[in-house]
Amino acid sequence: MNPDSRTCPLCSASPAETFLGRAFDAPEQDTTVSICACPACDFAWQWPLERTAQESAAVFHSEYQAARKESYFDKERRGEVAALQLDFLDELGPPERTLLDIGCGDGTLATAAAQRRWAAVGLDPAMPEDAAPVATNLARPPRLIRGTLEQLGAGEQFMCVTLWDVVEHLPDPEPTLAQAWERVAPGGWLVLETGNYQSTERMLSGQHWWAWQLDHRWYFAPSTLARLLEPLRFRQSCLARRVLRPWSTGNAYNQPPSALQTALSIAKRPWRAQPIAAEHATRRQAAARWPEWSGLSIFTLALQK
């Protein structure tokens, strides 16, 4: 995809709408990113780009190192996320438990998978130097590789190939996703997770959405990601019904407030009538536009080969 500020890199419609989002990952409060949004297909992208691909790689390498030094609680939380991710992979029902996790960071998921008797490989060009399986007593420890798909054996395929919070960072997603697809065994699944642009949360957050970030180049939703992946000719797709985070309560469908609920809320706080009416209208609009996923702030989409 070749972004510019006028034409949608996904559906070629123009013109795009442009605005500034507050950069959630910037150390300084007032840093912004330039966002372009396509009203035709509800896709958004960053332009001009804040970082080159090389700058991103350097930042991630140092961020992973820093994350390794965080408290046990954070590691525990990442373990809880991995457990939900593995539950979702089990729901897909792969005939064999073989996993390739692309962009695996320090290998938390691959290690958790190995503990559940998956044959797991974790791959990340920015893997920290000290990444190693936490549990060393595993019968089949995960293979953790600092590098790219080229480092895998030719023809090596897996029942689940996953990219969690990766696609939004890729300078050019299409070739990477096509390479990932080649690693999916027939009948297996490619699983992608990213923030949901077509969500109630994004609409309510305006310029302050958490996903506006220096390193996020693309803002997908289930429909736009499926559109990008159409050339892969997947057999079927499956969208996780919830956000795979232990602290998240969002379900795929967000029941919007009724007109009666709006009236009752305003009766309780009449001095806030205008913002309450506006917020409820936004909730109804999001639910009407994207009834199948407006409640998901982060979505997980699986495509079967």
40 lines the binding site for Zn ion (CB under 5 A): yes
Calculate the alpha carbon distances from 19 to 34, 97, 109, 205, 290 in Å.
Answer: 6, 44, 36, 13, 22
Residues in 83-112 at the binding interface with Zn ion, rule: CB under 5 A: none
**Residues 6 or more apart whose Cβ sits within 8 Å of residue 87:** none
Which range touches Zn ion (CB under 5 A), out of 43-51, 87-95, 138-146, 270-278?
43-51
Distance CA 235, CA 252 (A): 22
Residue (13 or 53) nearer to Zn ion, CB: 13
Question: Cα–Cα distance between 64 and 206 in angstroms, integer?
Answer: 29
Shortest reach from residue 174's CB to Zn ion, in Å: 15
| Contact positions with Zn ion (CB under 5 A) in 2-21 | 8, 10-11, 13
Residue 174 or 182 having the CB closest to Zn ion: 174
- Do 132 and 106 contact (CB within 8 A), yes or no? no
- The three-state secondary structure class of 216 is coil
Q: Least distance (Å) from Zn ion to the CB of residue 238? A: 24
Separation CA 73–CA 303 (nearest Å): 33
Dump strand ranges (E) for the chain. Answer: 17-22, 32-38, 43-46, 98-102, 119-123, 143-145, 158-164, 184-195, 218-219, 236-239, 298-304
Q: C-beta of 14: minimal distance to Zn ion in Å?
A: 9
Q: Least Å distance between CB 229 and Zn ion?
A: 15
Q: Give the integer Cα–Cα distance in Å for 234 and 271.
A: 52
**57 lines the binding site for Zn ion (CB under 5 A):** no
Q: How far is the CB of 225 from Zn ion (least distance, A)?
A: 13
β-partners of residue 298 are 195
For Zn ion, the closer of residues 85 and 199 by Cβ is: 199
Nearest distance in Å: CB 42, Zn ion: 7
Residue 204 binds Zn ion, judged by CB under 5 A: no
CB nearer Zn ion, residue 3 or residue 105: 3
CB nearer Zn ion, residue 11 or residue 287: 11
8 versus 104: smaller Cβ distance to Zn ion: 8
Asked whether position 38 contacts Zn ion by CB under 5 A, the answer is yes
- For 18-51, b/e burial (b = at least 16 CB within 10 A) is eeebbbbbbeeeeeebbbbbbeebbbbbbbebbb
From the list 31-39, 114-122, 128-136, 156-164, the region that binds Zn ion by CB under 5 A is 31-39
- Across the beta sheet with 17-22, the strand order is 17-22, 32-38, 43-46, 218-219
Quick one: 39 or 187, whose CB is closer to Zn ion?
39
CB of 136: closest distance to Zn ion in angstroms? 48
**Taking CB under 5 A as the rule, does residue 59 contact Zn ion?**
no
41 binds Zn ion (CB under 5 A): yes
Residues of the shown chain interacting with Zn ion in the complex, contacts defined by CB under 5 A: 8, 10-11, 13, 38, 40-41, 43
